[in-house]
Structure 1
Amino acid sequence: MEDDLQRMVDSLALTLQRSVAVDDAQLRLLRSSAHFGDEDDLRLKSLVDRRVPEPVAAHLHRLGVATWREPGHGAGTEEVAFATRWCVPLRTRYELLGFLWVIDDGTLTPPQLAEIRDGATRFEDYLGREAERRHAADRRQDAAVRQLVHGIADERRAGAERLRGEGASVTGLMQAIAVSVATVALRPEPSDPGLDLSPRAFLSRGVRAGLATRPPGSYALAIDDTEAIVLIGWSAVPTAADVETVGTRIRDALVRTEPLLSHRAVIGVGGPVPALLDARDSWRQSRLALRVASAEGEPVRSWSTLGASGYVAALLPDTLDPVALPEPFATLLGEQSAEALDLIAAYLENGGSAAVTATALNLHRSTLYLRLGRFEQATGLSLDRGADRLAVHLWLTARHYRIGAEGSAGGRE
């Protein structure tokens, strides 16, 4: 079947007497014709690396090629130089399949453009059938990944066997000496009717683009409308920086894929574990990192760097009955202004140092003491007492987390 795609590429190139290439939706090279004397450095490098170099890919995404519905010219710049190409987006009604590229110095004739249109239709038919087969494999992979991270021991073993049954598509993952999990979640928001992508398609395209530099077969995915679970295999034990880089690259790819959705994405990255059957541990770590990232307003957090924030997040329950909280934590703290709570938080973060806090907040020290006194008087708490200070600090931290049906308490505006 793959030879059919190569024959189609070669046939179009011979008809045009120009170099032709077909990339997938992540700008990885699928097939390329022989040269016709029009090759440039980008074409030669893409043939070696089997993908468009990252600076060029970023430039093409800035041009919006992934959202194009009609052909157009993709031109370089002084900083990202390459020969201008005629770019035809290859699509089904719902999905970007890839790109057809023909190097064009502005001399393509109407008959040649017609040949390119006809060729693009054949490529879309071929890639569409391949996509249907890939989607069936994706569904099997999705189920296996969920078993690995959610299931009891027997289910996790069954999930590993299901993945092994996918053969070459996950060879790198099955042979890995370490695995890690990243979780990408979308914050809930009303849907935007102007968006070109569904949340699921956005996650699928963006996550896969973020993983495009990884070896084929070295990862598996489970994706729905709210989150993506990314199971990654490593041929050598990764450093903390290696693991975090995966999350950062996924985040960057999501931004390129659809800026109107990317602000909703939050990524938590778990640490490496030695075996596929231990992937649940890394997944749980990624969920904790995801919770901290959401609370702190960060797009990406890695479990290995959470520090005290991770400890607090691990202690906090997912649900908490506000009625069960004793005073002053049930109502009195919540009646404090946001400004007052921010001042107390700064004071506690600075280890109770009035001098450091006053300088940081640009306050006179006497003003700071006055406001601290007002807080203590209103709440009945003493910031000189260790237990009260600990409880207030925990409460102030917890207010950033989504806890219980009522949500966490916060200051009034």
Structure 2
Amino acid sequence: MKGLLLRLSAVDADAEAAVRVIAYFDELVAHRASLPDLVRSAAALAECPAGLDGEGRAALRFGPDGTVPAGPEPSTAVSSAVEPGSRVWLERPAPGPLDDLVLERFAIAARLLARPGPAAAAPHLADPALVELVLGEQAADEDRARALVLLGLAPGKPLRVVAVGTEDGGDPGAAAVALMARGGAPPAARVAVVGDVAAVLLQPREGAGTVVTSLRAALAERARERRATGSVRVGVGDPVDGLEARRSWLQARLAERFAVPGAEPVIVHDELGSLTLLAEIPPERLRAQADVRALDDLAATPAGAADVATLEAFCRTGSLRQAALALHRHHSSVAGRLAHVEDALGWRLDDPGDRFRARLALLARRLAARG
């Protein structure tokens, strides 16, 4: 494994560095590294001791020089779950800028390498030029078909495109690869960053309908592990023939604009129905609408952001008590915030017309922000 070594101090903490970290662990999986070699490589990359333990297997722990560190694992180690009863960790006093990504990819690699058989099921970053050719508007069918073949996809089989966006500056390519691996992605899962969103091209063996179930299960698993799930937005396009991938991509991009991280992180295009018409309105027109401006003004006040989030939860769940459960707040606190929203905006949320108006304004504001 010596030829694969990379060190975090040698790369910048930006999107290119994230791609290199992902490729580093992908190479270890592709070469079917042993679990001890995986831990040694992770330690060399992070330039600190690293470890792996799990049920039925002795703990593995190595320093960046490849030797077993003296003394026990410190209490300051940052860790990530591989699967129930198993985890990986890095031993340093405080996490570095890329440690979340390193731990995510370390855990994915450990999960894949612990299984018998080939590592074909690992989703990976694909050549962005080929992906853009498949999804682009100008390509001829023969060029699109050739690009699909080079990506390892079958032009004549159903294909589905998923758009993965992140908030707070997260890398969408890394988020997409981790999400697909956690969701048990099929062998034909190709990821590339297109603009500010990751495009995932999928050809599930079990059928196109399994994509949504797998994605929602993956996000639910991350939530159970108390990992950060609030920054990921996922849009799912319709199943199409391979040569029509662009149509599924545009649908996925549109659906991703409707997603709410943490609350409604996965939006399926064909479940939006007539709401897709709202996305055809130019963002500047949405921003200029009086109700949208009023929500923006409210959100800019000291407690306004929490008020708008409470309104979102109430409109999404349709119930004060369900909104309280979603927000992990007492229902009286939610009622107080909703009363403040009514006073500030002049709406009466027990009136069906005003509730519809509020829901529409919230959707328009969300789409305007992601225009």
What TM-score comes out, normalization by structure 2 length? 0.52
Distance 1:286 1:204, change over 3 A: closer
Once residues 50 and 323 of structure 2 are traced to their aligned partners in structure 1, the CA distance between those partners, rounded to angstroms, is 54
Say if 2:159 is the partner of 1:179: yes
Say if 2:129 is the partner of 1:147: no
How many percent of aligned residue pairs carry the same amino acid? 19
Question: 2:198 maps to what in 1?
Answer: 228
CA contact (8 A) 2:164 2:176 kept: no
The CA deviation string for residues 2-42 of structure 1, in whole angstroms up to 9 with x for no partner, is xxx9xxxxxxxxxxxxxxxxx97334353xxxxxxxxxxxx
* Partner secondary structure for residue 393 of structure 1: helix
* Partner secondary structure for residue 160 of structure 2: strand
Question: 2:283 maps to what in 1?
Answer: 319
Question: 1:163 maps to what in 2?
Answer: 148
Once residues 225 and 181 of structure 1 are traced to their aligned partners in structure 2, the CA distance between those partners, rounded to angstroms, is 15
Letter in 2 for 1:285: Q
Once residues 250 and 133 of structure 2 are traced to their aligned partners in structure 1, the CA distance between those partners, rounded to angstroms, is 14
Question: 1:25 maps to what in 2?
Answer: 25
Once residues 317 and 229 of structure 2 are traced to their aligned partners in structure 1, the CA distance between those partners, rounded to angstroms, is 31
* Partner secondary structure for residue 181 of structure 1: strand
Question: 1:9 maps to what in 2?
Answer: none
Shift of 1:209: 6.0
Question: 1:395 maps to what in 2?
Answer: 361
Say if 2:214 is the partner of 1:245: yes
CA contact (8 A) 2:43 2:64 kept: no
Letter in 2 for 1:233: Q
The CA deviation string for residues 208-265 of structure 1, in whole angstroms up to 9 with x for no partner, is 96699743xx24343368433221223442433x454268669989xxxxx9xx8796
Once residues 323 and 224 of structure 1 are traced to their aligned partners in structure 2, the CA distance between those partners, rounded to angstroms, is 25
Match of 1:268 among 234, 238, 241: 234
Give the greater-gyration-radius structure (CA).
1
Question: 1:283 maps to what in 2?
Answer: 249
Number of positions where the alignment pairs a residue of Structure 1 with one of Structure 2: 280
CA contact (8 A) 2:158 2:241 kept: yes
CA RMSD of aligned residues (A): 5.6
CA contact (8 A) 2:292 2:362 kept: no
CA contact (8 A) 1:187 1:266 kept: yes
Letter in 1 for 2:144: G
What TM-score comes out, normalization by structure 1 length? 0.47
Letter in 2 for 1:68: A
Distance 1:403 1:273, change over 3 A: same
Question: 1:41 maps to what in 2?
Answer: none
Match of 1:79 among 55, 80, 83: 55
Unaligned ranges ≥5, structure 2: 4-22, 67-124
Once residues 277 and 352 of structure 2 are traced to their aligned partners in structure 1, the CA distance between those partners, rounded to angstroms, is 22
Shift of 1:319: 0.8
